[in-house]
Amino acid sequence: MSEEIASINNTYEFGWSNPERYAVKAPKGLSREVVEMISKAKDEPEWMLEFRLKALDIYYSKPMPTWGADLSGLDMDEIYYYIKPEGINARSWDDVPEDVKQTFERLGIPEAERAALAGVGAQYESEMVYHNLKEEWEKLGVVFVSIEDGLKDYPDLFREYFATVIPPEDNKFAALNSAVWSGGSFVYIPKGVKVDIPLQTYFRINAESAGQFERTLIICDEGAQAHYIEGCTAPSYSRDSFHSGVIEIVVREGGRFRYSTIQNWSHNVYNLVTQRASVYKDGMMEWVDGNLGSKVTMKYPACYLLEEGARGEVLSIAMAGRGQHQDAGAKIVHFAPNTSGTIISKSISKDSGRSSYRGLVKIYEGAHGSKSNVECDALLLDEEARTDTYPYIEIQEKEASVGHEATVSKINDEQILYLQSRGLSEDEAAGLIVRGFIEPVAKELPLEYAVELNRLIELEMEGSVG
């Protein structure tokens, strides 16, 4: 590892690791035997093994993407595709293995569960080690379990929706995830139920050269409402790790769902994620997407507006520092009349870091009366930083309205001097400007998570100017 990357990771507060103790650890590299091992370890039905093996063939048939971030450093043969920790899927913290429990206690998960959450899931390596839903929501029929328990305990509901929003054919890494998926959540919000405090799942990679391939499936039924929050960290190692999740969400008629991510992987993680929601009549899907960590991120939360009156909104933050490329953005696709979409993207680049907005707005013929608006703002903190914008707009309907606005700006010296005159240091002044820049997104998070986001921004900002 270069001295530059070592220096970056030495400042990463979640870079500690535990000794490796696992029940199962697949050999390095991807193969049919590894896929079969995963399916056997989970005692899956035959149809799921067939699904995995078909997805593996699709993965091999698709080339590595070259249109986004540089993936040439990602060695797929050096990844462990399945690591099963000792003691999985407990319903009580007392039943979680001690070293794993201490990991999540250091991350503040039990405290957050007690204070502000309707339910918590915790994934360690390839498996969920803990899942719990408060009794008041269980009584209303809310389901919040591991994806494996969703397959076993709700087989008809699971099979009705699984891989319908993101099939293996969608892209190379969706196919990879479909072949080796492990861990993640299965969520069902029944008709008319409104869960007024968030559910959260936290993902932790511990082993060196580990791959994490969680699969989350969420069904928000008619008139239901809920908010799901995802967080993630990993230790700092000399070798790269790999995270490639798939998030599928279905929002039925009149439902409303929000999915928030605060991604803070260490700077040796490739983070390649596919996230998409299918939204039906008068439904509303909101993505709040924060990307601060990782070596490379490629992630574009999407809303497919399938029926009249469906709405989608993506609020995105990306911060790229030294050695990072955040290739983030969003997709809004209008299939039906009178649908509406909004994308607000904020990116910050410093110390030769590179941020890219890559987005798609597409309005199909017949989606008359549809409206979409994109606001894409980038902030450069120094002369070495870089930002790019790749907006794709495809309109096949004459009676539609689409707006796109993009700005690139630098930290204003006059603003810095003014704030210094009010008693702030140069770093504090720059941090205040950045927090103001991201405020439209941060204000959409629950208070505890907005505070955490601002704290992470402050850590990233230390020493950025001057």
- How many independent structural domains does the chain possess? 2
**What is the helix (H) or strand (E) element at residue 137, kind and residue range?**
helix 135-138
Handedness of CA 71, 72, 77, 78 (dihedral sign): negative
For all residues of the chain together, what is the average pLDDT?
87
Instruction: Please report whether residue 336 resides in a domain.
Output: no
CA dist., res. 436 & res. 439, Å (int): 5
The tens digit of pLDDT for each residue in 129-175 reads 777 888 889 999 999 999 999 999 999 999 999 999 999 999 999 99
DSSP secondary structure of 214-241: -EEEEEE-TT-EEEEEEEEE----SS-E
Amino acid at position 319, single letter: M
Instruction: Please report whether residue 260 resides in a domain.
Output: yes
Inform me whether the pLDDT recorded for 443 exceeds 50. Answer: yes
- Of the listed ranges 21-30, 109-118, 299-308, the one predicted with least confidence: 109-118
**What is the helix (H) or strand (E) element at residue 441, kind and residue range?**
helix 426-442
pLDDT of residue 5: 43
Give the pLDDT band of residue 1 (cuts 50, 70, 90).
Answer: very low
DSSP secondary structure of 155-169: HHHHHHHTTTSS-GG
Residues 62 and 205 in one domain: yes
Nearest to 27, CA basis, from 84, 82, 86, 85: 82
CA dist., res. 333 & res. 394, Å (int): 9
**What is the helix (H) or strand (E) element at residue 132, kind and residue range?**
strand 127-133
CA dist., res. 441 & res. 328, Å (int): 15
The tens digit of pLDDT for each residue in 189-209 reads 999 999 998 898 887 777 778
Instruction: Please report whether residue 388 resides in a domain.
Output: no
Residue of higher predicted confidence among 395 and 446: 395
Residues 294 and 432 in one domain: no
Domain boundary among 273, 299, 325: 299
- Global confidence as pTM: 0.89
**How many CB atoms sit inside 10 A of residue 173's CB?**
23
Helix and strand counts by DSSP (H, E) for the chain: 12, 24
Inform me whether the pLDDT recorded for 245 exceeds 90. Answer: yes
Give the distance, in angstroms, between the CA of residue 296 and the centroid of all CA atoms in the same chain: 13
- Of the listed ranges 17-26, 215-224, 274-283, 339-348, the one predicted with least confidence: 17-26
Instruction: Please report whether residue 32 resides in a domain.
Output: yes
Range of the domain at 459: 423-466
pLDDT of residue 463: 54
The tens digit of pLDDT for each residue in 362-384 reads 999 999 999 999 999 999 988 89
| Token output for 378 | 């980038």
Share of the chain above pLDDT 70, in %: 83
Instruction: Please report whether residue 431 resides in a domain.
Output: yes
| Token output for 161 | 């929706």
